[in-house]
Each structure stands twice: as structure tokens, then as C-alpha cells.
Structure 1
Amino acid sequence: MPVEETRPATGHSPHGVEDLCEAAKELYARALSEGRVGVDEAVGTPCLMDFGLLQPAVTDLRWLEPVSPAVALHKLLRDAEKRIFDERHREARLTEAFEPLMRLDGPRTAPAESTAITVIDGLQRINLAIAKAMADAAQELLAVQPHNGRNLVSVQDSLERDQAFLDRGGRIRTLYQHTLRHSPAVVARYEILSGDAEVRTLNEVIERLLVIDRTVAFIPASRDRSVAVEIRHPALVEYLVMVFDRLWHMAVPMYPKAVQQPSVNGITPRQRAIAALLVEGHTDTAIADRLGMNVRTARVHIAKLAATLGSESRAQLGYLIGRSGILEEEREDERDQGRES
């Protein structure tokens, strides 16, 4: 789907999706209001088709139907993410290509800060860099591990490395999403590890983060985590530690002593988290991604939430969520968890 600009057309100047022309805005608004517009009416606004805001009607090709703004926005953002990923991958390839040339050129062209941020391309290289940093560490590992489908393998792969770190007197603090509180692989991992290890969970966490001895941090630089950034700049590492600490104080203890979140008026904590995202206008797919579950599970929770509140439609569900006060209860729980921490 093109995002940068529309194709040229008579009487229609090319523009980006963020600068949608007035004619297109008016026609799209009417399409949303009436449910469709004629194909001939959209001739002067090709941007609506280019940006995925209108699509041919399945039953009658003489008409165009509007795509939900939330769905269209999600697709456009995914396209933007792909372009960013491609640029980061290209940046990593360029860094790799020029690295031997910079060594030949000598230290006169390499600034002292050049090792403060290093782009690492390839899972094997990333794992080797993390293993080396962990081998030299003996104080603290801070980790954020969002669910991405590979967690169940990765949590086992790092057991030996983390146990050696704990045996040297190190401390491990890890944040997961609530959806992993009962994951057999995650639970088994902390039953096997011995030493000073703590685990807490949140509805949502940031992308993967490792901070080792508060001197080096690793963050992903691509959506599939095949590219990472190693950070040794003290100010940046300190900032990431502060972010972790803020999340840690809001999180719910899971190990070594678990704290159970209570249901309120028949609505579970997970359903309250989903309710907050529904009110913000997120799609089922976006909700599932942010909470670390599959779309089918998210929809089951949405259906149960609707049944509990007596909702008969998606629009009514948003209204009933706001009227029920459950979002205020969710915020109060988070404040209480922060104070208890």
C-alpha cells in the first residue's frame, strides 16, 4: 500500500497520507456516514483508494465501501514499521561493510564515543555479545521479556548462563506480561534457577531490554529482533534503568512469592486491561499484540466482558465500560501496586 504519495491525477496533486486533501476528507466522511459511495464520485480523489480508505464493494463493483479508520491506520503504521525495519537493516549492513575499512584507516578517524553504541546484525552475533557481557558481570541483570512466540524456547536457552551469573552472587529481576504468569516454561525456569531471582508481570511491557551491571544494555533494532543495539553510553544506560525501575514498581510480583490480582464485579484484571484498550479504539489484533496473546483469546475475553456488562454491540460496549467505572478501578490498582513496591 503506497504511503508516501498518491499517483498523479487530473486536478489532484500528489500528497502524503498525513496531508489528506479536503475533497478526500469530505468524501470519506460521507462514505463512513452512508456506508458507501459511487465509484464515479471517487475519480477526483484517488488518494482514498491509494491509502486504503476506500475499497470496492464485494457485492457490487459500482460502489466503494469505507475501511474503518482504525483498520486503515493500523495498516499504514505497519507499512511505516516495515520501512523503518528495512532502513535499520541497511544501516546494520553498512556498518558491517565499513567496519574492516575503519580498522584499516586507524584510530585517527574513530571517535572515542564510537563504541558507546554498536549495531549488531544476526541472532548468533547478538547472543554472543550478550553471553560475553554476562560472563564479565557479577552484580545485576535487569530484563524485560515480552511474549513473542519464541519466549518458550529462549527462556530455556539462557538457563545455564543465568545460573552461572547467580552463582557469582548476581541478582536477576525480570518483567514479563501477565499472559506468561502461568506459562509452564517460564514457571519451570524459575523453579530450576537458584539464587537471588525475582519476577514481576504487567499487562503491557516495553520491547525486549537487557541491562547488565548497569553498564551495558541491549535493545532490539528490528521488529524480528535479528538486529540489536548494544549501548554502553552511561547516560543512556542510566535512562533505561530508570524506565525499568518505573515499570518494576507498577508490576505484580510473580516469583518467588506470587500476588494474585482479584476480579472485581465478575471482571478479571485481564478483561479490565482489554477494556482500557477498547476504549482507546484499538483493534482486536492490536489489543492481542500489546497484551501478548493471540487474537482468538483476545476475542474470547472481549465476548466475556460484553456478556458481563450486558453489551449487545461494540459501540455499546465502549459506553458501558466508561459507565461501569472499571477503568478507574484499574488505575487505582496500579497506584496501589506502586505504593506497595
Structure 2
Amino acid sequence: MISAPLPAITVLEGLERINASLDTASAECHTEVRTLQPGGARSELDLAQALERSQHFGVRGIHMRTLYQHTVRHSYGLHAYLDRLADVQLEVRTLEELVPRLMIFDRTVAYIPAGAGTRIALELRDPDLIAFLTAAFDCFWQHAVPLHEPLPEPAGPDGITAIRRSIARLLVEGNVDEEIAHRLGLNIRTCRAHIAKLSAALGGSSNRAQLGYQIARSGILDEPRPAGQAGSGGTEGGA
């Protein structure tokens, strides 16, 4: 008896069902996994689940590629996690900004979040949609910086670091502090500290409108952005 094909799109509600589906996809994977993990340092629980799911890939010869944001480079938990995956064919790169989470197994099934939070996800099996997501991941990958390589040019000739230049761009676009922090994988206090230092570097400002004017007048956004930056910036799990 021939089994019915799986749905092109399945809505997964609740962390238990999401993790069960990810476990199945991991167990059935044969060749490659692509994961895109935005945000800053990940929690111990997330890393423990990812480790349990990923450490079996080594003996099966599965190749993993994972994208994080630049801010994870200072996460001791993440580096300890990667050290425990030494036997896995794992490549890690970072970007300044990323789109929401994405996981692709064997170009057969993919997972993306549905709405805010992590409690609803979409399981995707449509070949054309997966091909599109795979191409998007590969585009991000080509612009990303390998984890073992230093980031390019931490500060321009004006003394403003790349992260503050990105904050300046998002400020001019009208984003509030919380959205800027989310997109760059920063906590809100760190983000606001960068904004204060950006303001000081441009001569000080009493309000957001004045800071926007100073940014525009300074010309700092007219300079080419360093390599390793792209896109905009949550399904839990994966590497």
C-alpha cells in the first residue's frame, strides 16, 4: 500500500510537537543540514537540545552549516557547544543581521517560525519553497564571515564602529530601541549604550530627532558597509 504524501505545509503548535518533528527530521537526515540562528547568545537549554540533536551527525557523515549573528562570537557557551561537536562536519559563519530562524534538512524538509515567539512553527515540504529557502540561505552564507576569522574593519576612519554604524542606519529608518536590539542580536541595555556612544561621537544630542539629523549630516551612512553584513533580523533547536 502506497502511503499518502506528506502535506506541503504543516502547522506545528507547541514546543513538544515542534521538537518531536525536529528530532524526526534529524534522525532521517542523510547528507546535509543548514541552520540559521538569529539573536545573541543562546540559552543553556537551547544549546543542550541542539547538542543532543546534532552530535549524532558525525558518525553519519552529515555536513552542517550554521549561521549566527556577530554578537555570538563572545559567547563562551556557544564555543563550548561547538567544541563538543568536534567530530561533526560543521562550518559556522556569522553576519551582523539575519532573518528569522530557518532549518533545512537534506533539501527535503524545512522549518520556519510562524509569528512571534517560538511556540508555533511551519514544517515545509514543498520542493519549490525549499529550493527558494536554500538559495536564500546560500546567499547569506556567501556574505558571512567564518567564525575563526576576525571581523573586517571594526571601526572606520571616523572612529565609529561597524555595529554603531548599523545602529545609526536603523535609527534613521525609524526603528525603536527594542527593534534595533532584536535585529542586531543585542540586549536592550547594550543597544542603548551603543546609541549613547554614537550620539557622543557625533557631538551629543538631546533627542532622537536631533540624533537622526546628526547622523544624516555626518555622512557616516554614505560609506560602503563592510563585508559580512546583510538582511534583517525566531524555530528553536538545531546547531
Query: Taking structure 2 as the reference length, what is the TM-score of the superposition?
Result: 0.85
Q: CA RMSD in A?
A: 2.4
Does 1:317 pair with 2:208?
no
8 Å Cα contact 1:166-1:172 kept in structure 2 = no
8 Å Cα contact 1:152-1:186 kept in structure 2 = no
Give the distance between the partners of 2:22 and 2:224, measured in 1 at CA.
36
Distance 1:175 1:242, change over 3 A: same
**Residues paired across the two proteins, number:** 225
8 Å Cα contact 1:273-1:330 kept in structure 2 = no
Q: 2:149 aligns with which of 247, 250, 258?
A: 258
8 Å Cα contact 1:141-1:213 kept in structure 2 = yes
**2:75 maps to which residue?**
183
Give the distance between the partners of 1:219 and 1:118, measured in 2 at CA.
11
Give the distance between the partners of 1:168 and 1:328, measured in 2 at CA.
48
**1:82 maps to which residue?**
none
Q: 1:237 aligns with which of 117, 130, 135?
A: 130
8 Å Cα contact 1:145-1:176 kept in structure 2 = yes
Question: How big is the shift at 1:226?
Answer: 0.9
Point out which structure has higher relative CO (alpha carbons under 8 A, 6+ apart).
2
Cα deviation code 1:148-179 (max 9, x no counterpart): 78544212322132121132111111111222
One-letter identity of the residue aligned with 2:28: D
Correspondence list, 1:94-109, <5 A:
none
8 Å Cα contact 2:93-2:146 kept in structure 1 = yes
8 Å Cα contact 2:40-2:71 kept in structure 1 = no
One-letter identity of the residue aligned with 1:317: L
One-letter identity of the residue aligned with 2:12: I
Secondary structure at 1:193's aligned position in 2?
A: coil
8 Å Cα contact 2:66-2:91 kept in structure 1 = yes
Q: 2:95 aligns with which of 199, 202, 206?
A: 202
Distance 1:244 1:336, change over 3 A: closer
Secondary structure at 2:55's aligned position in 1?
A: helix
Q: 2:32 aligns with which of 109, 133, 140?
A: 140
One-letter identity of the residue aligned with 2:126: H
8 Å Cα contact 1:175-1:248 kept in structure 2 = yes
**2:9 maps to which residue?**
117
**1:36 maps to which residue?**
none
**1:214 maps to which residue?**
107
Give the distance between the partners of 1:238 and 1:151, measured in 2 at CA.
30
8 Å Cα contact 1:163-1:193 kept in structure 2 = yes
Secondary structure at 1:119's aligned position in 2?
A: strand
% identical aligned pairs: 48
Cα deviation code 1:182-210 (max 9, x no counterpart): 11111111122123211122222111110
Give the distance between the partners of 2:115 and 2:141, measured in 1 at CA.
25
8 Å Cα contact 1:123-1:225 kept in structure 2 = yes
Distance 1:114 1:189, change over 3 A: closer
Question: How big is the shift at 1:334?
Answer: 3.3
Secondary structure at 1:225's aligned position in 2?
A: coil
Higher helix share: 1
Q: Which runs of 5+ in 1 are unaligned?
A: 1-106
Give the distance between the partners of 2:189 and 2:167, measured in 1 at CA.
13
Question: How big is the shift at 1:323?
Answer: 3.2
Question: How big is the shift at 1:235?
Answer: 0.3
Give the distance between the partners of 1:326 and 1:230, measured in 2 at CA.
42
Question: How big is the shift at 1:335?
Answer: 7.8
Task: Select the structure of larger CA radius of gyration.
Answer: 1
Cα deviation code 1:264-313 (max 9, x no counterpart): 13211111110110111111121112112222211100011111121323
Secondary structure at 2:97's aligned position in 1?
A: coil
**2:85 maps to which residue?**
193
One-letter identity of the residue aligned with 1:251: A
Give the distance between the partners of 2:168 and 2:70, measured in 1 at CA.
15
